[in-house]
């Protein structure tokens, strides 16, 4: 990656490359923070966070999946923290989980 005037410009360039080279990575909302970290996130109504696994295949790294329980509700969370083309990337998805022991 070329050196850019700001970390945000570098991350924006990498985001453009990612979306151009991998149009199958859809449904994520992408942002760039002040430090030039590229963030992708999605709150799914259904699913299992596979978009994060797909990003791990493209960007490298390993997606972590966990289930959070609060007041009887279960929420799945998939996360990936990696570096792609010298830019730090964090991707995560949240999605509903069936209660333990069966479906609702």
Q: Do the beta carbons of residue 32 and residue 17 sit within 8 Å?
A: no
Per-domain residue ranges for the chain?
7-96
Buried b (16+ CB within 10 A) or exposed e, 86-104: ebbbebbbbbebeeeeeee
Name the burial class of residue 5, with classes exposed (0-12), middle (13-18) and buried (19+) by CB atoms within 10 angstroms of its CB. exposed
pLDDT in tens, 8-33: 999 999 999 999 999 988 899 999 99
Per-residue pLDDT, 97: 81
What φ, ψ does residue 12 adopt, rounded to 5°? Answer: -65, -40
Contact 51, 28 (CB under 8 A): yes
What pLDDT, in 10s, does the model give residues 41-71? 999 888 889 999 999 999 999 999 999 998 8
């Amino acid at each position: 990656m070329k050196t850019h005037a700001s970390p945000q410009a570098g991350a924006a360039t990498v985001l453009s490359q990612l979306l151009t080279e991998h149009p199958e990575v859809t449904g994520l909302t992408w942002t760039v923070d002040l430090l030039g970290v590229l963030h992708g996130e999605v709150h799914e109504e259904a699913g299992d966070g596979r978009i994060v696994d797909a990003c791990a295949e493209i960007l490298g790294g390993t997606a972590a999946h966990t289930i959070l329980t609060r007041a009887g509700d279960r929420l799945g969370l998939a996360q990936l923290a990696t570096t792609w083309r010298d830019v730090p990337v964090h991707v995560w998805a949240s999605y509903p989980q069936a209660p333990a022991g069966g479906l609702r």
